[in-house]
Structure 1
Amino acid sequence: MSLPSSSKIIIIGGGIIGCSTAYHLAQMGHEVLLLEKAGLTSGSTWHAAGLVGQLRSNANVTQLLGYSIELYNRLEEETGLATGWKMNGGLRLACNQERWTEVKRQATTAHSFGLDMQLLTPQEAQDLWPLMDISDIVGAAFLPTDGQASPSDITQALARGARNGGAKLVENCPVTEILTEKGKLVGVRTPQGDVSCEKLVLCCGQWTRDLAATIGVTVPLVSVEHQYMITEPFGVPSDLPTLRDPDRLTYYKEEVGGLVMGGYEPNGIPWAEKGIPDPFDFQLLESNFDHFEQLVELALPRVPKLADAGVKQLLNGPESFTPDGNFILGEAPEMANVFIGAGFNAFGIASGGGAGMALAEWVAKGAPPYDLWPVDIRRFGRPHTDTDWVRARTLEAYGKHYTMAWPSEEHQSGRPCRRSPLYSTLKESGAVFGEKLGWERPNWFAEAGEEARDIYTFERPNWHGPVGREHTAARESAVLFDQTSFAKFILTGPDAEAALQYIASNRVDKPVGSIIYTQMLNDHGGIECDLTCVRTREDEYYIVTGTGYATHDFDWIKRNIPQGMNAELVDVTSSNAVLSLFGPKARDILQAVTNDDVSDGSHPFGRAHRIGIAGCPVLAMRITYVGELGWELHLPAEYAQTVYDALHTAGAPLGLRNAGYRAIETLRLEKGYRAWGSDIGPDHTPDEAGLGWAVKMKSNIPFRGRDAVAKQRKDGIKKIMATFTTDPDVILSGRETIYRNGKRCGWLSSAGFGHTIGKSIGMGYVRSETPIDRDYVLSGKYELEVATVRVPADVSVAPLYDPKMEKVKV
């Protein structure tokens, strides 16, 4: 097929993701050209194992995988091509009590998201999968709508569907260069000529990273060898469910009367560290029997007949994996109109239908169909530009594919990477660090006689007591948090106010020194950013947001500065340290180290003043995320140690204590403060989240999302954020199902323990098919499903703790 000289949209890569994206764009009526350097499926698609599971820890990613199954159910009839799709269900085993707890929590998550995951006895599991030995099994979970597919067949069916919709798919046409002019995409170069385009979609699997890097786009994925064994036929029933045996690190599916058996070894082998050889199409790597032996040894006790089965092939094919085990979708923050769909961590077939649908909508409409933050390319940041760091973290994630998914578990590889100036001081003080976007952040502080490390469990963890100690200090005396990892930007220029007024939903035309808490909304009224702005000058704002949202929020603000406005956004994250001083004695401590007046009359809530501490210029922001009197102190990084020492010297007689991020979490839950990425996000509006007070609807000032908010206020809202409390012995970790009057109505978006109120706390939306109000929420009788067991819960739409009341609301 000859190439056109131009196409509105070009997709590079003819695997399942590229073909699915082309299929969905064509279905939407868009002009699409797909270019594949060899033949369709020639990358990792053709040698994928083909298991299709749905359940993930995020509702929308689960929904995306569910769409894959809906598509696969109809694709063969629609296109006339066989897909090999079988909805034969999926089994997951548990071989010890901790794994059984995890499985029961997964079952509750499935119920929260509307999936029928059933818990089975060992005998019931064996009835479904008679080939296995069940002597060590505690229980199992069965998801009837899971299944398996033929990856190449599904891809070819998607390709035919794309062609039927008008898309052009050209094989044996490599893209040798992405063409840009003045930093903007203009097209691609191939041996058959140049093709101009308006939008480019990179679905090139393990080749995506290097191709994207040629135009300055970071795609953090690396290749890892992945092996599975295909046996000769030995009477395996064709309707056998897929099987995952995570305690033995292995998975199984039926294939032509035999079995496919693979797994995720703890010592994965990276591939192509110096670059992918060329050509590498429809090729495999040399079988590594020695390395695979560890999985065979784990598999044989589970499926004894494997010992006598002939081995047809030990297939070794490279797959692209990512540092957090999630795939990568979305528009590249470094260049407009360049989109990525890659890094599928060996579940590209399960994701293929949904990922292609979501990516197609992203390309066509500028946004995904729903919040896909867990897979959004903007979740990455500075450490991910270094491939060595990415490889170290990815190999750890690969090795954890089937290990226990502990609550609050931290990665260990590639650490320490980004460090606050106070890192060594805090470590000497007993800090136990976590990591986010490469930053080392103290999670909690151990005292003498306490082991300064996380010990993971589904019960109350070893840090529960220390976090309670820090929590109590915040409520009764004072604590100091090192929050240097906050992402910090400056928006400056003659049009800074006008630009921010359009992007932000709250008013920003405030006097210099004002702190503005605001959301930034999309066209549906959903919350894209949740942050704090300080008006530092008439033509300048200092913007502070969460550590993990640095890339996302910078990208959102920069892209939404109206065309023609003179305003520039600059990232100053690394320039400033942040020390947050909170607690009823915070003012006494701060006043002891500065000559500036920090009394309530001189420095009221919601104001930022420049003060001096020990020779350091400090931007003191009177604001709180823990519900107590306090200040965020933003200062040049080189002064951090000096100011930290001064505060501790003054605070020691008043009970000042170091505290970590896990205490922030428990404190904010008691106050009902929302967290972006869990409680609020693009699928939630301010009114649904209880944040409507921060939206400037009483003004006539236009802003993005205003029309959607106005429409929703006219039509009513169908979900409302609420806080739930349960008995302190009930351990909540998030995603527990919410029942109102016996009917499922939502799930917990975040959860923890309130050390002041002495109860377990969860936050989540009460949902309805018709408009509801606060009275509706409060009039219900509630239960939470926790690891498949329902427990009674109380509901509140107000903070559980208010320091002004000197008591708690329950």
Structure 2
Amino acid sequence: MTELPTTAKAVIIGGGIIGCSTAYHLAKLGWTDTVLLERKKLTSGTTFHAAGLVGQLRSNANITQLLGYSVDLYNSIEEETGLGTGWKMNGGLRLACNEERWTEVKRQATTAHSFGLDMQLLTPQEAQDLWPLMDISDVIGAAYLPTDGQANPSDITQALAKGARMAGARIYEDTKVTDLEIENGKIRAVITEHGRIECEKVICCAGQWTRDFAAKFGVNVPLVPMEHQYMVTEAFDVPTNLPTLRDPDRLTYYKEEVGGLVMGGYEPNPIPWATKGIPKGFHYTLLDGNFDHFEQLMELALGRVPALETAGVKTLTNGPESFTPDGNFIIGEAPELANFFVGAGFNAFGIASGGGAGMALAEWVKNGEPPFDLWSADIRRFGRPHFDTDWVRTRTVEAYGKHYTMAWPHEEHASGRPCRKSPLYDRLAEQGACFGEKLGWERPNWFADLAAGEVAKDAYSFGRQNWFAAVGREHKAAREAAVLFDQTSFAKFTLKGPDALAALNWICANDVDKPVGALVYTQMLNDKGGIECDLTVGRVAHDEFYIVTGTGFATHDFDWIKRNIPAGMNCQLFDITSSNAVLSLMGPKARDILAAVTRDDVSNAGFKFGTLRTIGIAGCPVQALRVTYVGELGWELHLPVEYAQTVYSALMEAGALHGLINAGYRAIESLRLEKGYRAWGADIGPDHTPLEAGLGWAVKLRKDLDFKGRAASAAQKANGVKKMLACFTVAPDIVLLGRETIYRNGERVGWLSSGGFGHTIGQSIGLGYVRNPNGVTEEYVLDGDYELEVATKRVKATVHMRPLYDPNMSNVKS
């Protein structure tokens, strides 16, 4: 074989479509000293047996953009390289066979319109005109995306590989990577069967092998292989221009292939593969076809395509694919090991993602950050439960089985639960808590009135769900009396050391150089000024800070803070999430209740808003934070877990005289929307700046203090913004979920980032950015007539730039 180089700028492990696409894009970015290593032959892992459907629409704008990039690339790569790819932009159809699915499809069409995709709604007959082989007796309607298509996975991968070589990258087959050389936590080299390649950056695109390989170096990649089958028929005069077809109510998909059909699907009882490890030497290998297991899909398919009854079966392809616990792929730099990047876990849509994922990975490697917010696919979205392969497999089986089931609003996973429990879990369950789950944590979403016969279980629909009235009760109590939220799942960190202040003031956009006992709400920005973290910082000592952030951001935010502590600074970051329970006491009667259980002064003069201090409750030292995310007077009470039940009992007993009740996260969502409080991952994130989000007041631009993102923030303040977060209200019978399209004076200007209902104002509420390439001001936003597109219908909306819940009505700072 050709002798390996001894050095490289970056080494890619894995020669499937993701690895070859990453090599192509890195070389195009000028990193011609990029080496790709494939243990056997290109595409020999799972790429070679992929079905090759390319759909673009996802519920996230940036993932949709990434898939759209794949389509653009596949349109041009054949001409660039001279290699055929089998790419056909023949469009994609999605069927709806019941009213709820039709509502889902109409909402998907609105999402497509929000993101700039041409998704058309068709009658059953119009759908059949495009796909004449199907029976439409049960079809209510269909959606059609003209720019979807299909490709030959191996051919596209070979074209990308050739394009990578043409741009200067080097590719070596039959070269197995056996180890990494790591010194003092830094990658020094890749070790292969044929020699050592010194490098600083490694990109692991090894498909279903990625989890085991990465685990050798402490990196967690939550994916497992699952059997995935599809049938290829003999030719029976299938039109070559037939669109791809997805029939989710029958769990199946179809594409044309050489005058026949490929038909596959996602059965509700999938079969995990290689539960005891992937066999050695497994490559270019298929599993035995499992006709008995496939029969359930075949029966569903025959009702849609009667001609399958007589079509000859060429093959039943059974190939393992890597799937993830939430159905999204995994991309990004590993939090456990600097300069180790991952692109894996593509849930059988690796061909659709391949072009865009390779582009995003290449830019991430070169620039140290992705080209846009990819949080829904970011490797840092995972946490402690995902280190356990059995838990990952249990949850992934459920996610696979839901691939084509209805994507209900607010739907919770059921598997692998309960995993992480607050000390109050059992007591709250006895009182009617209906729990949701995030990062393994059980969290009360709402409380059923057991005495009135309510059942603490979600009943999903696209209308108002069964918990709507219960959340209304909790919301009303928060506004008029008091509620207690169990927020133990909050991620909690301590940063301590002589340089803790200097480090944190560099990372934070707001000024945390405050007296001991001060509490500061702040963002942490990237170099573009985008919001990477949104959290609360409390100064508990001269050289120590207490940091509180959202449950789902534990890995992400810890990683962001740790990697941005300037070199040479003496401070240490600790994750103490599991040490402290959190009880949030909120509402106008919160002070009366707290005063009844502590001897400490909790008057406004004695305990000001934006401060924290230790108080005593029932023999427990409680760190009380005077802060609110619901727009009412309140405290977050942080306390050692062993005291949680005692303090909870004391608060509930004292609160009985004041109308105190339990409340859950869905009430928090309703309350925060009325106040216009932003949520990271929805309303704010790396693609949004504080100035765009109306949070400029929390950025220390007026102070002569440098901080990460300052230059970009200052430039934007000088030049103005091109999008601005606004609030919208519509009639109470309109259900807003997020991603509804915003129209200003008849022109599409954005989409909702959040949607819900405000029980105090009695209206549906949405937050979303109004965009204009020529600039946006508050006056511009207010000087417009607005409509929202909801499930393809436009409804009149009123725009607001101030909180809907008047601060004068609350006791936030009284």
TM-score of Structure 1 vs Structure 2, range by shorter chain: over 0.9
> Alignment partner of 1:6: what SS?
coil
* Cα distance in structure 1, aligned partners of 2:468 and 2:98: 24
Q: 8 Å contact 2:633–2:810 — kept in the other structure? A: no
- 2:223 equivalent in structure 1: 221
- 1:780 equivalent in structure 2: 784
User: Post-superposition shift, 1:803?
Assistant: 4.2
Q: What TM-score does the superposition give when structure 1 sets the normalisation length?
A: 0.99
- 1:724 equivalent in structure 2: 728
* Cα distance in structure 2, aligned partners of 1:32 and 1:420: 48
- 2:328 equivalent in structure 1: 326
* Cα distance in structure 1, aligned partners of 2:594 and 2:277: 55
Q: 8 Å contact 2:90–2:244 — kept in the other structure? A: yes
Indicate yes or no: 2:668 matched with 1:667: no
- 2:27 equivalent in structure 1: 26
User: Post-superposition shift, 1:178?
Assistant: 1.5
User: Post-superposition shift, 1:805?
Assistant: 3.5
Paired AA for residue 252 in structure 1: Y
* Cα distance in structure 1, aligned partners of 2:645 and 2:186: 43
* 1:198 paired residue among 194, 197, 200: 200
Q: How does 1:658-807 map to 2 (within 5 A)?
A: 658-805=662-809
Q: 8 Å contact 1:21–1:359 — kept in the other structure? A: yes
1:375-411 per-residue CA deviation (whole Å, 9 max, x = no partner) reads 0000000000000000000000000000000000000
* 2:532 paired residue among 519, 528, 537: 528
Q: What TM-score does the superposition give when structure 2 sets the normalisation length?
A: 0.99
Paired AA for residue 759 in structure 2: H
Q: 8 Å contact 1:421–1:641 — kept in the other structure? A: yes
- 1:653 equivalent in structure 2: 657
1:34-68 per-residue CA deviation (whole Å, 9 max, x = no partner) reads 00000000011000000000000000000000000
- 2:12 equivalent in structure 1: 11
Paired AA for residue 149 in structure 2: G
User: Post-superposition shift, 1:308?
Assistant: 0.2
- 1:347 equivalent in structure 2: 349
* 2:647 paired residue among 603, 620, 643: 643
Q: 8 Å contact 1:118–1:142 — kept in the other structure? A: yes
Paired AA for residue 503 in structure 1: I
Q: 8 Å contact 1:627–1:802 — kept in the other structure? A: no
* 1:138 paired residue among 137, 140, 153: 140
Q: 8 Å contact 1:716–1:771 — kept in the other structure? A: yes
Q: 8 Å contact 1:732–1:761 — kept in the other structure? A: yes
* Cα distance in structure 2, aligned partners of 1:574 and 1:539: 22
User: Post-superposition shift, 1:802?
Assistant: 2.1
Q: How does 1:256-267 map to 2 (within 5 A)?
A: 256-267=258-269
- 1:396 equivalent in structure 2: 398
- 1:358 equivalent in structure 2: 360
* 1:512 paired residue among 512, 516, 530: 516
Q: How does 1:533-552 map to 2 (within 5 A)?
A: 533-552=537-556
* Cα distance in structure 2, aligned partners of 1:110 and 1:803: 37
1:718-742 per-residue CA deviation (whole Å, 9 max, x = no partner) reads 0000000000000111100000000
Q: 8 Å contact 2:133–2:307 — kept in the other structure? A: yes
Q: 8 Å contact 2:458–2:466 — kept in the other structure? A: yes
* 2:493 paired residue among 468, 489, 497: 489
Indicate yes or no: 2:389 matched with 1:376: no
Indicate yes or no: 2:594 matched with 1:593: no
Paired AA for residue 12 in structure 1: I
* 1:570 paired residue among 551, 571, 574: 574
State the Cα RMSD in Å.
0.8
User: Post-superposition shift, 1:190?
Assistant: 1.1
1:94-138 per-residue CA deviation (whole Å, 9 max, x = no partner) reads 000000000000000000000000000000000000000000000
Residue ranges of structure 1 left out of the alignment (5+ in a row): none
- 1:86 equivalent in structure 2: 88
* Cα distance in structure 1, aligned partners of 2:274 and 2:89: 35
Indicate yes or no: 2:260 matched with 1:252: no
* 2:275 paired residue among 273, 276, 298: 273
* Cα distance in structure 2, aligned partners of 1:797 and 1:557: 32
- 1:415 equivalent in structure 2: 417
Q: 8 Å contact 1:581–1:633 — kept in the other structure? A: yes
Indicate yes or no: 2:159 matched with 1:154: no
Q: 8 Å contact 1:433–1:442 — kept in the other structure? A: yes
- Could you tell which deviates more after superposition, 768-777 or 483-492? 768-777
* Cα distance in structure 2, aligned partners of 1:2 and 1:83: 30
* Cα distance in structure 2, aligned partners of 1:603 and 1:780: 43
Q: How does 1:36-185 map to 2 (within 5 A)?
A: 36-185=38-187
Q: 8 Å contact 1:726–1:759 — kept in the other structure? A: yes
> Alignment partner of 1:723: what SS?
strand
Paired AA for residue 597 in structure 1: D
> Alignment partner of 2:8: what SS?
strand
- 2:314 equivalent in structure 1: 312
Q: 8 Å contact 1:741–1:781 — kept in the other structure? A: yes
> Alignment partner of 1:744: what SS?
strand
Paired AA for residue 150 in structure 2: Q
Indicate yes or no: 2:630 matched with 1:629: no
- 1:501 equivalent in structure 2: 505
User: Post-superposition shift, 1:170?
Assistant: 0.0
> Alignment partner of 1:262: what SS?
strand
User: Post-superposition shift, 1:187?
Assistant: 1.2
User: Post-superposition shift, 1:600?
Assistant: 0.2
Residue ranges of structure 2 left out of the alignment (5+ in a row): none
Paired AA for residue 228 in structure 1: Y
* Cα distance in structure 2, aligned partners of 1:786 and 1:9: 46
Paired AA for residue 186 in structure 1: R
* 2:304 paired residue among 302, 305, 322: 302
> Alignment partner of 2:691: what SS?
helix
> Alignment partner of 1:687: what SS?
coil
* Cα distance in structure 1, aligned partners of 2:278 and 2:350: 20
User: Post-superposition shift, 1:806?
Assistant: 6.5
1:754-792 per-residue CA deviation (whole Å, 9 max, x = no partner) reads 000000000000000111210000111000000000000
* Cα distance in structure 2, aligned partners of 1:150 and 1:320: 19
User: Post-superposition shift, 1:182?
Assistant: 2.2
Q: 8 Å contact 1:12–1:18 — kept in the other structure? A: yes
User: Post-superposition shift, 1:183?
Assistant: 2.2
Paired AA for residue 276 in structure 1: I
* Cα distance in structure 1, aligned partners of 2:85 and 2:370: 27
- 1:559 equivalent in structure 2: 563
Q: 8 Å contact 1:487–1:545 — kept in the other structure? A: yes
Q: Percent identity?
A: 74
> Alignment partner of 2:396: what SS?
helix
* Cα distance in structure 1, aligned partners of 2:479 and 2:189: 58
> Alignment partner of 1:176: what SS?
strand
Aligned residue-pair number = 808
* Cα distance in structure 1, aligned partners of 2:800 and 2:312: 61
1:462-492 per-residue CA deviation (whole Å, 9 max, x = no partner) reads 0000000000000000000000000000000
Paired AA for residue 547 in structure 2: I
User: Post-superposition shift, 1:179?
Assistant: 1.5
Indicate yes or no: 2:611 matched with 1:610: no
User: Post-superposition shift, 1:609?
Assistant: 1.4
- 1:284 equivalent in structure 2: 286
1:323-353 per-residue CA deviation (whole Å, 9 max, x = no partner) reads 0000000000000000000000000000000
* Cα distance in structure 2, aligned partners of 1:789 and 1:109: 12
> Alignment partner of 2:199: what SS?
strand
Paired AA for residue 413 in structure 1: S
* Cα distance in structure 1, aligned partners of 2:637 and 2:324: 35
- 1:478 equivalent in structure 2: 482
> Alignment partner of 1:297: what SS?
helix
